[in-house]
Chains A and B, each alone.
Chain A
Amino acid sequence: MERKKIEKADLGRWLDRIAQEYELIGPTEDDDVIRFAPVESSAELVFEFANSVIPPKSLFFPQVESLFSFRKRGKEIELEATKPLDRDRVIFGIRNCDIGSLSLLDSVFSEDLEDVYYQERRARTALIALACPTPPRSSCFCTTFGIDPLSPQGSDILLTDVDDVYLVDVSTEKGERLVALSEDLFSPLTKDEAQQLQPPPVEMKKLDVSHLQERTEALWEDEYWQKISLPCLGCGICTYVCPTCHCFDIVDVGSTSEGERYRCWDSCMYNDFALMASGENPRPTKRERIRNRYFHKFSSFPSRYGTGYACVGCGRCLVHCPGGMEITEVIKDILAKEGVSE
């Protein structure tokens, strides 16, 4: 697709036009917390932000969602599936790390059977990505996992902030329909502009993770996991702010004759995550739970789905961990253990 541009002053008008046709979701700020939330108008959105605390995976795989309701009538049981969406949606302001996480989650939620809840949300949502600001946060390391913060890959439209305009890269039909809503606000780039209007390169720390899987697997019995588990509180922050974590629990709310079945996020950092009905817990201490988390990210996930590692370098876990655990340091340690450094 040919690159277009939209004046910054016009972006709000376009988004307001989108909000008339779709449910518009974007970054909002309240009490110093950036969250993706549905908005009525572009005035509620923030445009200068690094990223949300909770990743936009929650818009496809919500922290809690109803799957179906049930009602017992004599011996019959009536089931009614919950509709995941009322309207088609547009998410504005998603970053490329989080788009990368959606492509990983796509593998999970279509593995043996199509997860209709996740898949319907994916199919009925258009993504307007915002290329990352320069410089990125020092916690960012998405390029480690092959993600380009300026690439249009995975989005329907990519907007790149350059001077007084946003460069507009439309990649899909969904994206074309959104641009068509306010065609007059977009204009093609002149030859000069196409050369001059370039975003500055985004530079960040990049680790060589090409051997990360086998290095991780060599460390199953290593005392390293005990050592790094010491400052871990055993809270669920790292898993809940992670755009690739996807474990859930199932909960019935109501009575035995009538109620609703929900699924909600669960965390492998919790003591009861692997607890069995017998009382046996195969991951009784934080050592086993932390080891499991990193093994899932760097070994079992790529093996199972044939994808890359289950980390997109968004840096949320290392920003929010109360114990100061940094996944980038863990990766360096794992690689260094075998005498291989970045």
Chain B
Amino acid sequence: MVIGVACQGLVDPTKLEQVLGVPMEEVKSVEDMGEAFLVTIGEEKREVPKEELLREKCFYCKHPTSFEYDSTLGEMVPFSIDAGEGEFALVEELEQLPLEERRAFWQKQFERCIRCNACREVCYACYCQECMFDKKVPRWLSKTPFLSDNELYHLIRAFHLAGRCIDCGECERVCPMRIPLSRLYKKVQKDVAELFGYEAGMELEEAPPLTTFELDDQDPFT
């Protein structure tokens, strides 16, 4: 049985730290007050407008309300801000850069990856019994965090998630090294949208485009 809720917006822990000026673990609780969050730090309570604390994805979220459910919890009225606009703005910003600068941007991010696998372990779309990165024979990748290994790890993950990533943002949340992984997966989402007109997670029965094919698929490589 699925119980649907209307999302009231998600707090971005990084923004929370920046806006409040305290590390995350000092925050005791965050309460939803409708238009604002009530944050408790020690004995002190502070009301912060939602716009200042929401995750980036909340600003373009097109589906803040469950659409497949058996029953609902509360009224199905989500917190609304100008949704649906600028979904790929951060990706487009990167796409404007010359190839070498884009490469430098991601290398700087991947260089600090410690390969703790948290992004993989938390990913709802990772379901392989044995991940290719854990395979011993053949061994595709060692635990060595060389830049080339890290690039391979993240780029392979991005390709594997094409057409399946729903931008839940958990990978970015759990990353201890604050690598902006949502931005990487958003690019793949954008490509899948443009090439196949497909958005992951909308149809229960439909197979993701990269697990199947149709005769009239675009073929831009030929």
Contacts and interface: CB of A to CB of B under 8 A. Distances in A.
Shortest 6 CB-CB contacts between residues of A and residues of B: A235-B118, A322-B174, A233-B121, A236-B116, A235-B121, A251-B142
A235 B117 contact: yes
B14 A264 contact: no
Interface centre among A234, A266, A315 (most CB of B within 10 A): A234
Interface in B162-185: 170, 173-174, 176-178
Interface in A27-52: 31-33, 35, 50
Contact of A33 (B24, B144, B145, B178): B178
B24 A322 contact: no
Interface centre among B25, B109, B116, B118 (most CB of A within 10 A): B116
A111 B69 CA distance: 59
Nearest to B134: A272
Interface string B105-148: 00011001011111011100000000000101000001111100
Interface residues of A, number: 35
B176 A234 contact: no
Given A234-B117, A251-B142, A270-B117, 19 more contacts: A32-B178, A33-B112, A54-B114, A137-B26, A139-B23, A235-B116, A235-B120, A236-B117, A236-B118, A240-B114, A240-B116, A251-B143, A251-B144, A253-B144, A262-B144, A265-B143, A267-B116, A315-B25, A319-B23
Contacts of A132: none
A264 B141 CA distance: 13
A35 B178 contact: no
12 contacts: A54-B114, A63-B114, A64-B145, A64-B146, A233-B121, A235-B122, A236-B114, A249-B142, A265-B143, A271-B134, A315-B25, A322-B122
B20 to A, nearest CB: 14
Contact of B25 (A31, A35, A318, A322): A318
A270 B134 CA distance: 9
A233 B144 contact: no
A253 B174 CA distance: 30
Interface of A: 31-33, 35, 50, 53-54, 63-64, 137-139, 233-237, 240-241, 249, 251, 253, 262, 264-267, 270-272, 315, 318-320, 322
Contacts, number: 83
A97 to B, nearest CB: 15
Interface of B: 14, 23-26, 108-109, 112, 114-118, 120-122, 134, 136, 142-146, 170, 173-174, 176-178
B134 to A, nearest CB: 6
B114 A320 contact: no
A31 B178 contact: yes
Contacts of A271: 134
A274 to B, nearest CB: 13
The DSSP consensus for interface residues of chain B is loop
A233 B176 CA distance: 14
A138 B26 contact: yes
Interface centre among A54, A138, A318, A319 (most CB of B within 10 A): A138
Given A35-B112, A319-B25, A264 B118 contact: no
Interface centre among A63, A266, A315 (most CB of B within 10 A): A63
A25 to B, nearest CB: 16
B25 A237 contact: no
B176 A272 contact: no
A138 B25 contact: yes
A151 B174 CA distance: 34
Contacts of A241: 176
Nearest to B26: A138
Contacts of A264: 142-145
B121 A234 contact: yes
A64 B111 CA distance: 13
Contacts of B142: 249, 251, 253, 264
B143 A137 contact: no
A253 B143 CA distance: 12
